[in-house]
Amino acid sequence: MLSVPKSAKEPRPLRSLPRLAVLKIMPERLLAASAAPAQASRIAAGGAAAPAARAEHDRMANAIRALAMDAVEQANSGHPGLPMGAADIATVLFTRFLKFDPADPAWPDRDRFVLSAGHGSMLLYALLHLTGYEAMTIDEIKRFRQLGSLTPGHPEHGHTAGVETTTGPLGQGLANAVGMAIAERHLAAQFGGDVVDHFTYVLASDGDLMEGISQEAIALAGHLKLNKLIVLFDDNGISIDGPLSLADSVDQVKRFEAAGFAATRIDGHDPAAIAAALEAAKKSERPTMIACRTTIGFGAPTKAGKASSHGAALGADEIKGARENLGWTSPPFEIPTAIREAWRAAGARGKPVRAAWEQRLAALEPEKRAEFLRRVRGELSPKLAAAVRELKQKLSAAPKEIASRSASEFALEALTLALPEMVGGSADLTGSNNTRTKAMKAMSAADYSGRFIHYGVREHGMAAAMNGMALHGGIIPYSGTFLVFSDYCRPAIRLAALMGQRVIHVMTHDSIGLGEDGPTHQPVEHLAALRAIPNLKVFRPCDVVETVECWELALQSKDAPSVLALTRQNLPQLRQGFDEHNRCALGAYEIAAAEDDAAVVSLFASGSEVAIAVEAKRLLAAKKISARVVSVPCFELLAAAPAAKRAGIVGRTRVNVAVEAGIRQGWDAIIGSAGGFVGMSSFGASGPYKALYQHFGITPEKVVQAAVAALEKS
């Protein structure tokens, strides 16, 4: 059999060579295989299903291998190595452990399976096909990687039923899984184990574990003792450049143990060992990592165990040899009936389990059940509108001159009461981000009902875990960090936008206005960089009323993430009086009209610079130049507004000038390339913020100068 170290202390053997001995005996084993016994008898609610005979297991795993190599060959592109190597792990997991029902891919209490190594997408597509996800037909497998197919190069959530999260950028899936496991524990604490009680499994590769985000994710998971998180590490010792030894010598078992995991090392081609490790993991009081030693491209005669099987079609000769090694005699894309039936039976295991869950849900107290379902569907409570109205009424009665980060806290005090699904947090900047309300308890291993997560200094892990929570459902995650550190969150924010997930990032200290911390902490290009991400809403409210309105819009944004860019410095309340309508809803609006009908200048600004524009308007009036001011809290909403409305908001004055304490990029879409711009074109500097605004020329006087100069040219 395979040489697998028994303990974490033993050195890893060289694994760059195919294990021909194993491959040679496989056909004999397969010859002895009998027809698959009906698996329906294995259905066992709660516990693991009974093991398949070894020969049957092999045939089922080989079905995955065959589909993977045939689909990649047909597409002449893709990654056969991982599916072929991890087929045994996946077969044991999906036939014996995973709680799922292909008839209802969105069943809220299903176990989550995350393929973090998204390049191995054919593993997932083969599993979805074999276990009976209706849409995943053999034709879709044949159309692997073709435009419009359900089988894109990397798994895309929302595109293919059964794909829990979009993976491909390594490390993200693992961190998403941590978020899913947090969501499970939190919702179980709120709604009880009768309706929320599932595991989160993640298959992670060497690449996943080399990415820095994996450290943030596993450290958080270990700290929170997420014992229902089970990481299956496809420990094949190969990445694109060749053997892992070229670039890495981490003992992953020790690393996970140090983070608070139970960790073990097994032979990833031994179904009994895989099952035993999963059994133990399910009972663990800590999260578990199972390092499954596998051979990449298992079965391929010359490419198994080598990087050459990682990411390219194997080629006709190699596939022929693999078929021989595996004893797989069926033509491409054909699965023998007995094997197909065995897989379908595995897919049917979940049906009675789901029926039992539905009964338990029905037995819940009606109000609790309705609340659970509302939250799972992602519907907002009518309490939100009432809370926003009340906040705006309070502000019209007693205006507040506060920083928009404090305005956000003021909003959150009411919004988090209205929406118990809001789970906040901060990457160790709680007191600066103002994201924790007075009533919020911290979430901890001892009490998962807490609604505030101390993420530690882990912005990337935080953003990816938030994606996992949103994907899980039942939670609207929001976070806190400095806007400048959006760079540290960006890959996860991009995926939230791609997946259309409602996560809300509170990002404070949004400009040189943060002052003394200096240029390392002062965002300059960040608003533009975030606005460049499709389907991300970047809000930059100008005062406390806009902050409340932007929070409402972010919460209503069911299919897109949001960033709230907020100030450290105080801002005057520009919006006086009570207006029931959300004036930010179209992304921009005229906040200060010209006194007459003869406006020749439109001043556009966001956030803290709106007050500067309003003052510039007053100075222009003194020069008998009529101007209007448009507040632009959200570019994306303005761009999405009906054309006529947008044109009305932007207006048609002779001159447009924009002012924002960031770079110009992006503003031309609103002010035109001939418009004037007052903002930043370099990094900031350390100093008191008022001195910085003077130094960088972001002042009402400079706005006036820009307007006058533009008028002279026009």
* 460/568 with CB nearer ligand TPP: 460
Neighbours of 549 (CB within 10 A): 26
- Would you count residue 121 as binding ligand TPP (CB under 6 A)? no
- Would you count residue 494 as binding ligand TPP (CB under 6 A)? no
Contact region with ligand TPP (CB under 6 A), list: 168-176, 262-270, 339-347, 590-598: 168-176
Among 38, 240, 246, 442, binds ligand TPP (CB under 6 A): 240
Contact region with ligand TPP (CB under 6 A), list: 77-85, 195-203, 562-570, 680-688: 77-85
Among 82, 174, 322, 637, binds ligand TPP (CB under 6 A): 82
Q: Quick one: which of 527, 594, 567 has its CA closest to 693?
A: 567
Contact letters (x/-) for ligand TPP, 522-551, by CB under 6 A? Answer: ------------------------------
Among 18, 78, 81, 350, binds ligand TPP (CB under 6 A): 81
Contacts of ligand TPP in 188-227 (CB under 6 A): 205-207, 211
β-strands 422-426, 476-482: how paired? parallel
The one-letter amino acid code at 627 reads: A
Contacts of ligand TPP in 378-397 (CB under 6 A): none
Neighbours of 5 (CB within 10 A): 16
Question: What is each CA distance from 388 to 90, 209, 411, 415, 638, in whole angstroms?
Answer: 48, 43, 8, 8, 22
Contacts of ligand TPP in 546-575 (CB under 6 A): none
Among 66, 259, 296, 346, binds ligand TPP (CB under 6 A): 296
In the complex, minimum distance from the CB of residue 468 to ligand TPP, in angstroms, rounded to a whole number: 17
In the complex, minimum distance from the CB of residue 217 to ligand TPP, in angstroms, rounded to a whole number: 14
The terminus-to-terminus CA distance of the chain in angstroms comes to 83
143 DSSP 8-state letter:
T
Sign of CA dihedral 131, 137, 142, 148: negative
Where b means 16+ CB within 10 Å and e means fewer, 566-590 reads bbbbebbbbbeeeeeebbbbbbbbb
Among 66, 141, 170, 427, binds ligand TPP (CB under 6 A): 170
Element (H, E) at 495: helix 486-499
Given 156, 318, 459, 549, the catalytic residue? 459
Neighbours of 49 (CB within 10 A): 19
Contacts of ligand TPP in 579-598 (CB under 6 A): none
For 507, the 3-state DSSP assignment is strand
Contact region with ligand TPP (CB under 6 A), list: 115-123, 446-454, 476-484, 497-505: 115-123
Q: Measure the CA–CA gap between 264 and 281, rounded to whole angstroms.
A: 10
516 is catalytic: no
| CB-side neighbour CA atoms (13 Å) of 579 | 13
Give me the residues paired with residue 571 across strands: 402
| CB-side neighbour CA atoms (13 Å) of 217 | 35
- Would you count residue 467 as binding ligand TPP (CB under 6 A)? no
Query: Tokens standing for 119?
Result: 């390049």
- Would you count residue 153 as binding ligand TPP (CB under 6 A)? no
- Would you count residue 119 as binding ligand TPP (CB under 6 A)? yes
- Would you count residue 167 as binding ligand TPP (CB under 6 A)? no
Contact region with ligand TPP (CB under 6 A), list: 165-173, 266-274, 431-439, 454-462: 165-173
Residues at the site binding ligand TPP, with contacts judged by CB under 6 A:
79, 81-82, 117, 119-120, 168-170, 205-207, 211, 234, 236, 238-240, 296, 310
Q: Which sequence positions are flagged as catalytic?
A: 459
